[in-house]
A and B are shown apart, each in its own frame.
Chain A
Amino acid sequence: MDYKKVTTFILAGGKGERLYPLTKDRAKPAVPFGGTYRIIDFSLSNAVNSGFKRIYILTQYKSFSLQRHIREGWNILSRELGEFIEVVPAQQRISEDWYLGTADAIFQNLYILEREKPEYVLILSGDHVYKMDYTKMLNFHIQKNADLTISVFEVNKEEASRFGVLKVDNEYRVIDFVEKPQIPFTLPENPSISLISMGIYIFNTEILVKRLIEDAKKIDSSHDFGKDVIPSMIKRDRVFAYRFIEEDKRESRYWRDIGTIEAYYSANMELLEIDPILNLYDENWPIMTYKPQSPPAKIVFLGRNIEILNSLISDGCIISGSSIYNSVISPSVKIEKGSEIFDSIIMNNVYIGENCKIKRTIIDKNVIIPDNSVIGYNIEEDKKKFFVTETGIVVIPRESFV
């Protein structure tokens, strides 16, 4: 297989309103994750590790932070060999609107497909965390002689209503697809399991172009793959579902849609388990990112009643006589003596003064927490000063005054 026949698009244009205030100054795919990563690093690493190295990232809102991250961290491919990662802002070459939906985002960039003329188009979302070899999906697509293949994830029926749910026959040909159904379809062989779309599509280029043009001409369309384009294809085109195989080759499969603060928080916390389902240590499937040059993490004044447990501590941090439990600490964080951090996510360059107590809190970049601060212990008090989610996670936006 010549992977130059595949053009990859990563959709990175969503506003990410449900991730606010983490998306106050950045697009959702650029939100920091797991200490040293950004969410988009997972899709990008998967594409590059799969050998699909002709990649366009489609951006629109607040794309500066994302662009900088790609420029600084992903300058690893060789143009001379036909490999590239290009960030494409909305250019209004066709329409004068912002992208109206996922399908419109590709349609507005039809001229890219025109130039590339690939055989296959891989479409990914920039806000999912998982590890996947797309070559296996492409092989399945070719073997099934499909027009469109949708990667699917198995969930319990009760959890399926938030997603696009597929109904398949025994050959895994898709016979129905409904976005956010009240009563989700289930597997023919198991009525408690539903197949949900992971928002990962492989199209034959010609059929993609034809269906996008059709969709662009429909007045009542929301120009979305899940809501409009895919349902219109099922009856007449060969649409197949590909069961996601994870690169860790484990029983449990890991795929997370980082749609809300809660999902973001729990996906980070899952990395702290002793043997996390998402393995970041696999040398055969590295997750790549931008890392600034910084010294190793340093931990000083450890003593009586001071512990650091179940936590990720990134480069450049200085932890001076403070305790940290179940937390993700990004690069260059300083925590002073007597402070205690529980179940929290602390992003780059945060300073936490002496004798602070912080629990279930996400602190975005460059925030200074003064001495003796208590955050996450009295939700009513916290609500007066910070953003607090329904489940009581406190979020302190970047560069805010505390």
Chain B
Amino acid sequence: MKNKILIIEDNENERLLYKEELEKEGYEVLTASSGKEGLSFIEKEKLDIIILDLRMPEMDGLEVLGKILSKRKNLPVIIYTSYSQYRNNFLSWAADAYIIKSSDMVELKNKIREILRDKKNGL
């Protein structure tokens, strides 16, 4: 069975790009354009990883992260953002990884593999 990834990202172009790239990697990819929509997926889908943007209108990524934590405590979350300054924000420490957006997405893909491998090995 394919691993299922949810992307929460308000920018439509980026959302489509990530979806395409990650589908090529062999994952099943769901997308949400806002924190609120993303949270509704968490309740009904069995997800393996969430890719989370931080700067979004209405509910920002850190708030979404807090809510994810209270709904599904051990669901891995990767913060994927253009901004490094949130690294010092305590709530961002609750994410499993904090990755700065890059055009080739290599770091993100590697991290996803690593998390899924750890999960499979029960770490």
The smallest C-beta distance from A214 to any residue of chain B, in angstroms, reads 9
- State the majority secondary structure of interface residues on B: helix
Rounded to whole angstroms, the CA-CA distance of A114 and B62 in the bound complex is 12
In chain A, positions 183-241 with a C-beta closer than 8 Å to chain B are 209-210, 213, 216-219
Q: How far is the CA of A218 from the CA of B91 in the complex (A)?
A: 16
Q: Are B94 and A114 in contact (CB under 8 A)?
A: no
Contacts of B93 in A (CB 8 A): 209-210, 213
A97: CB under 8 A from chain B? yes
In the complex, whether B73 has a CB less than 8 A from a CB of chain A is yes
* A216 contacts B91, C-beta separation under 8 Å: no
Known contacts being A93-B63, A93-B66, A94-B66, is A113 close to B74, with CB within 8 Å?
A: no
Which among B70, B90, B91, B94 is the interface contact of A95 at CB below 8 angstroms? Answer: B70
Report how far A93 CA is from B69 CA in the complex, Å: 12
Per the CB 8 Å criterion, the residue count for chain A at the interface is 16
Interfacial chain A residues near B74, Cβ < 8 Å: 217, 219
For residue A88, CB closer than 8 A to chain B, the reply is: no
Query: Pick the contact of B90 from A96, A97, A110, A217 — CB < 8 Å?
Result: A110
Interface string of B39-70 (1 = CB under 8 A from A): 00000000000000000000000010011011
- Which A residues from 73 to 100 make CB contacts under 8 A with B? 93-97
Q: Chain B residues near A97 (CB, 8 Å)?
A: 70
Whether the Cβ atoms of B91 and A111 lie closer than 8 Å is yes
Chain A residue contacts of B121, Cβ below 8 A: none
Q: How far is the CA of A219 from the CA of B89 in the complex (A)?
A: 24
> CB within 8 Å of B: which of A102-118?
110-111, 113-114
- For B89, give its contact among A95, A114, A210, A218 (CB under 8 Å): A114
Who on chain B is nearest to A216 by CB?
Answer: B69
- Measured CB to CB, the nearest residue on chain A to B91 is A110
Measured between beta carbons, the chain B residues less than 8 angstroms from A96 are 67, 70
Whether B73 and A216, one on each chain, are in contact in the complex, defined by CB atoms closer than 8 angstroms, is: yes
Q: How many angstroms between the C-alpha atoms of A94 and B74 in the bound complex?
A: 15
Residue ID in chain A nearest B89 by CB atoms: A114
Check if B94 sits within 8 Å of A213, measured CB to CB.
yes
Chain B residues near A219 (CB-CB < 8 A): 73-74
**Which residues of A, 310-360, contact B by the 8 Å Cβ criterion?**
none
| Chain B, 64-106, CB within 8 A of any chain A CB | 66-67, 69-70, 73-74, 89-91, 93-94
In the assembled complex, the CB of A236 is this many whole angstroms from the nearest CB of chain B, namely 17
CA distance A209 to B74 in the complex (A): 17
CB-based contact A94/B73 at 8 Å:
no
| Residues in chain A near residue B66, CB distance under 8 A | 93-95, 110
**Chain A residue at smallest Cβ distance from B93:** A213
What's the nearest-Cβ distance from chain B to residue A389, in Å?
38
A216 to B69, CA, bound (A): 7
Q: Are B90 and A94 in contact (CB under 8 A)?
A: no
- CB of B91 within 8 A of CB of A217, answer no
Q: Which residues of chain B have C-beta atoms less than 8 A from A114's C-beta?
A: 89-91
Complex-state Cα separation, A213 to B62, whole angstroms = 13
The CA-CA distance from A209 to B92 in the complex, in Å, is 11
Give the Cβ gap from A196 to chain B, nearest Cβ, in Å.
31
Query: B70 touching A94 by the CB < 8 A rule?
Result: yes
In the complex, residue of chain A having the shortest beta-carbon distance to the beta carbon of B69: A216
Given A94-B70, A95-B70, A96-B70: A216 touches B94 (CB 8 Å cut-off): yes
Name the distance in Å between B21's Cβ and chain A's nearest Cβ: 28
Tell whether, in the assembled complex, residue A209 and residue B90 are in contact, meaning their CB atoms are under 8 Å apart: yes
A218 to B69, CA, bound (A): 10
**Contact A113–B73 (Cβ < 8 Å):** no
Q: Which residue of B lies closest to A113 (CB)?
A: B90
The residue among B67, B73, B94 with the most chain A CB atoms within 10 A of its own CB is B94
Q: Give CA–CA (A32, B78) in the complex, Å.
A: 49
User: What residues of chain B lie closer than 8 Å to A110, measured between beta carbons?
Assistant: 66, 90-91
Q: Given A94, A209, A217, A218, which contacts B67 in the complex, CB threshold below 8 Å? A: A94
Nearest-neighbour CB distance to chain A for B103, whole angstroms, equals: 31
Chain B contacts of A95 at CB under 8 A? 66-67, 69-70
Measured CB to CB, the residues of B under 8 A from A are 63, 66-67, 69-70, 73-74, 89-91, 93-94
4 new A-B contacts at CB < 8 Å, known A94-B67, A94-B69, A114-B91: A95-B70, A216-B69, A217-B74, A217-B94
19 interchain pairs, CB-CB under 8 A: A93-B63, A94-B66, A94-B67, A94-B69, A94-B70, A95-B66, A95-B70, A96-B67, A96-B70, A97-B70, A110-B66, A110-B91, A113-B90, A209-B93, A210-B93, A213-B94, A216-B70, A216-B73, A218-B73
